Structure 1
Amino acid sequence: MMVKPGEEDLWFLPGPPEEEPDFLPPLPRAEPDERAQVAKWQQAQAAEALHLAQTAARFGALDERLRRGPEGWRHRLALFEASGLSWLSGDRISPDRLGLWQAMRVSAAGDDTAALQRTAWAFRRLSGGPGPGADIAGFLGRHDAPGEDPLSDRIAGWNAIMKTASALHPIVRACFAFHLWRMAGIGPEGDVLEGAVIAARMSAGEGQGGALFAPVLMSGAGGLRGGGEPQERLHRWLQAVDQGVLRAMRHLDQLDQWESDARSRAKSLSGRTPPRLIEVFRSWPLVTAPLAEELSGASRAAVQRNIAWFEAKNLVQEVTGQGRFRVWRASLSGAA
């Protein structure tokens, strides 16, 4: 194309499309185009306002229920969520395998140790402890590798754009963070695990030290996959939250029903050990004899005798299939 005399001095004219800022790393600061992207998410939030309000109310109800429940409930739900994420990332770690690895570093023959370690990292980050905050690299447990683009630069770029999205509702901001994470190139290519965990922990707001149960955001695969405009992505994300909350509530209902049934059937037993063991199995997803002994305050013999009775009554189930270092869980009707 011919350039008219003097056009090279018209510096105020916009450059060609390929020169416009995009989301490629290192994303050093929020450019005008990036702020426009945030504006699209603000529009999506407004369009989904009713759905968002309903989802936030359900999420709050679950959060309150967990606040009133034992700590082990969060461990239970986090096991299921970390396991679900492992299937999305291709590792396919079941809750039982993950629980055994986390509690005792027990793995079956042929298990992929690296996959177990990745999923165990997700479980630990989802079940509690400090959130990502400003130290994303520390939260991830990763640091700059020689010969690669500095991880710190990519994280700084992601943080810069996330700062422009600070006015979004925490659930919407978590959705935006997840999709931005993949474009920023921080995690392994094609992997959803790290970005999903970061988004889950962000979902309840920055100042709470980690939501009591943010991981329900990850329960629906539809919330993590597929492209589309921000409103489409947010709609799928909210549906995933709804499904996750319902699944978590159903699991807690099953625990309540199991406890009621167990207490009714254990009335014939004497002593303080049976009701204390019921509380242990209600609270913790996987129980060993030493853990039951510690939490119940009963002797090892009393613990083993009562667990054997529970197992005979189909109230608990042994999950290792071995004679030593055995592990049990409550037998929940219809549990995942």
Structure 2
Amino acid sequence: MDEDHDDLPLGPRAEPCETAVLDDWRKAEASNAARLARVAGRLGALDDRLWRGPDGWRHRLALIEAADLSWFAGERIGPDRLALWISLRLSGVQDDTGALARVGWAVRRLTAGPGAVVDLSAFLDRRDPDNMSNEAEPFADRASSWTGMMAQAADLHPITRACMGFHLWSLAGLGQHGDRMEAAVTAARIAACEGKGAVFAPLALGGTGGLRAGGPPADRLERWLVRMETAGLTAMRHLDDIEAWSAQVVTEMSALSGKTPAALRAVLTEWPFISAAMAEALTGASRAAIQRNLAWMEARGLIREVTGQGRFRMWRAATGS
């Protein structure tokens, strides 16, 4: 007669049913209600600030957020390299153009584009290949599983829903093609889905600890809210600095003639780092005019050269951040 053996390998673990998963996240939201309200208020303040501010602010924050998320995803693309890639499609010899393209996608989705929940395939720029094997699960099926769960969580606050969607990403079978970056960008858009000025909610500006997996939903949401609050404060301080810098530059450059000074100021507001070639392409001014104005601004401490080299120089606004 066969004997039972305690050391037999365990079979596959059953996934918790959708109702239980949603209930866990509802309980997590209830247990973090006070902090959630505070973070939602800070996000609302950022949304209003961006709604009243120039469009360049949104682009600037998106570039910085995408660069920070790239480190979380293991791509490690700095905002200077990212700026060169997006504006001029320039990359260094050692740069991974695939990684640059993925982070460039993040910038596009953090500034505009379709909503993630409306059409996830379009949002991610993902489609099934024509030669997909019969055994492979179509992306549309995996996407519908995730969007279905998100639809059932419509009663949750968008910030909670974003956190839940991020942590359910791999469980839904969406964990390919740089999924950590995609999941974070998708969550950032969902968290700010009710805003008018903020296209996304900053998640990485204060560090990426909130994106760490582990623990029950209540713990994950608490970490998410702590880091999101820090990221929101960091974003507001950054906008304070660039707004003060812009006002100073307007005053100091008022005596200069021509269109180049104002155009260059706008570019430095929109981009965290610029090169002369970038400024030339983005403003339409001549290289000589760009270099003359950059030299004038650097001499007066309005911008700082950050590369420390003679060629391929880059500058940033001389703000406090």
Q: TM-score range by the shorter chain?
A: 0.7 to 0.9
* Deviation (angstroms), 1:328: 4.1
* Deviation (angstroms), 1:161: 1.6
* Deviation (angstroms), 1:318: 4.9
Residue of structure 2 in register with 1:226 after alignment: 213
Go from structure 1 to structure 2 and tell me whether the alpha carbon gap of 1:37 and 1:61 turns closer, same or farther (over 3 Å shift): same
Aligned residue identity for 1:160:
G
- For residue 132 of structure 1, the aligned residue among 116, 119, 126 is 116
Give 1:250-261 correspondences, 5 Å limit: 250-261=237-248
Q: 1:200, 1:131 → 2: CA distance?
A: 11
SS in 1 for 2:247: helix
* Deviation (angstroms), 1:157: 1.2
Q: How many residues align?
A: 303
Conserved? CA contact 1:289–1:304, under 8 Å: no
Deviates more, 1:110-119 or 1:275-284: 275-284
Residue of structure 1 in register with 2:236 after alignment: 249
CA deviation profile, 1:104-143 (whole Å, cap 9, x unmatched): 0111121111111111111111122222233211211112
Residue of structure 2 in register with 1:22 after alignment: 15
CA deviation profile, 1:1-58 (whole Å, cap 9, x unmatched): xxxxxxxxxxxxxxxx9799626xxxxxxxxx21121111111111111111110000
Q: 2:99, 2:268 → 1: CA distance?
A: 27
Residue of structure 2 in register with 1:43 after alignment: 27
Aligned residue identity for 1:253:
D
Q: 1:114, 1:272 → 2: CA distance?
A: 37
Conserved? CA contact 1:203–1:211, under 8 Å: no
Percent identical among aligned pairs is 47
Conserved? CA contact 2:81–2:91, under 8 Å: yes
SS in 2 for 1:329: strand
Conserved? CA contact 2:62–2:111, under 8 Å: yes
Aligned residue identity for 1:22:
E
Q: 1:102, 1:232 → 2: CA distance?
A: 37
CA deviation profile, 1:65-92 (whole Å, cap 9, x unmatched): 0111111111111111111111011110
Go from structure 1 to structure 2 and tell me whether the alpha carbon gap of 1:227 and 1:52 turns closer, same or farther (over 3 Å shift): same
Q: How much is the aligned-residue C-alpha RMSD, in angstroms?
A: 2.8
Computing the radius of gyration from Cα coordinates, the structure with the larger value is 1
Aligned residue identity for 1:212:
A
Q: 2:280, 2:67 → 1: CA distance?
A: 25
SS in 1 for 2:165: helix
Residue of structure 2 in register with 1:168 after alignment: 156
Conserved? CA contact 2:79–2:273, under 8 Å: no
Conserved? CA contact 2:260–2:283, under 8 Å: no
Go from structure 1 to structure 2 and tell me whether the alpha carbon gap of 1:276 and 1:90 turns closer, same or farther (over 3 Å shift): closer
Residue of structure 1 in register with 2:53 after alignment: 69
Match status 1:290 vs 2:280: yes
Residue of structure 1 in register with 2:293 after alignment: 306
SS in 2 for 1:232: helix
Q: Unpaired segments of 5 or more residues in structure 1?
A: 1-16, 24-32
Q: 1:45, 1:80 → 2: CA distance?
A: 29
Q: 1:314, 1:278 → 2: CA distance?
A: 14
Residue of structure 1 in register with 2:93 after alignment: 109
Residue of structure 2 in register with 1:150 after alignment: 138
Conserved? CA contact 2:114–2:122, under 8 Å: no
Go from structure 1 to structure 2 and tell me whether the alpha carbon gap of 1:124 and 1:190 turns closer, same or farther (over 3 Å shift): closer
Residue of structure 1 in register with 2:3 after alignment: none
TM-score by length of 1: 0.80
Conserved? CA contact 1:72–1:285, under 8 Å: no
SS in 2 for 1:217: coil
Q: Unpaired segments of 5 or more residues in structure 2?
A: 1-9
Go from structure 1 to structure 2 and tell me whether the alpha carbon gap of 1:127 and 1:246 turns closer, same or farther (over 3 Å shift): same
Moved segments of 4+, more than 6 Å: 17-20
Q: 2:45, 2:225 → 1: CA distance?
A: 16
Conserved? CA contact 1:200–1:218, under 8 Å: no
- For residue 91 of structure 1, the aligned residue among 62, 75, 78 is 75
CA deviation profile, 1:193-239 (whole Å, cap 9, x unmatched): 1111111111123x66x872424034431211131111111100101
TM-score by length of 2: 0.84
Conserved? CA contact 2:29–2:218, under 8 Å: yes
Conserved? CA contact 1:311–1:317, under 8 Å: yes
Q: 2:263, 2:123 → 1: CA distance?
A: 36
